[in-house]
Chains A and B, each alone.
Chain A
Amino acid sequence: DGGITQSPKYLFRKEGQNVTLSCEQNLNHDAMYWYRQDPGQGLRLIYYSQIVNDFQKGDIAEGYSVSREKKESFPLTVTSAQKNPTAFYLCASSIDIAAGAYEQYFGPGTRLTVT
């Protein structure tokens, strides 16, 4: 089955530690995205990538970093500089970032708790 996988489902970290969230897709999509979801705030875009080795900041990129070394993989690192990292993180992909008519496909999400 084609789709997007995110691991782990739940992640717990101590404050001050960096943590990397995994996102893999086998849909052969060019574009990939990371969103953060907080209760009552909808989804906010952290980073997005149009092609391998290229990525752009979204609306709330501070305290996060990404890489795109392979088409199918787009890991997100939550650094210790992120002031409020506890949230639900969603990865998504779409065929092409240039055309707005294409829908995005979402992974199951990773719930990160930092204490």
Chain B
Amino acid sequence: AQSVTQLGSHVSVSEGALVLLRCNYSSSVPPYLFWYVQYPNQGLQLLLKYTTGATLVKGINGFEAEFKKSETSFHLTKPSAHMSDAAEYFCAVSPNTGGGNKLTFGTGTQLKVEL
């Protein structure tokens, strides 16, 4: 069975500072990896995903994530935080062993951006 751990349920950064949101997965085979963002009382929007190929993935709104197999991690980063980045971020995985497209989500990280 696969699982996802997001370290830190709340992260606070200053505007212009680096954003780092952590995600580690547990799976016998490296899964497909996703980051979603959710603004208050809205649905989830895909930021980026890793399936195959280059391990550094660029997404929307200046975010990127790097798949590190040796560390079973897929941390999300952004060089300079904006106020508009304040939201909840979810890491998710799905199996790449023919097990279908059922996503397993982490518990989320609430990002706060301060002036």
Contact = CB atoms under 8 A, between A and B. Distances in A.
Interface of A: 4, 6, 31, 33, 40-45, 48, 58, 88, 90, 92, 94, 96-109, 111
Given A90-B43, A108-B43, A109-B41, A40 B101 contact: no
Nearest to B90: A42
Nearest to A9: B41
Interface of B: 9, 31-32, 34, 36, 41-46, 49, 51-52, 90, 94-96, 98-103, 105-108
10 contacts: A42-B107, A43-B105, A58-B102, A97-B100, A97-B102, A100-B99, A101-B32, A103-B34, A105-B46, A107-B43
B26 to A, nearest CB: 15
Q: Which 3 A-B pairs have the closest CB atoms?
A: A106-B43, A100-B94, A42-B105
Contacts of A97: 100-102
Given A100-B32, A100-B96, A106 B108 contact: no
A70 B36 CA distance: 28
Contacts of B46: 103, 105
A1 to B, nearest CB: 14
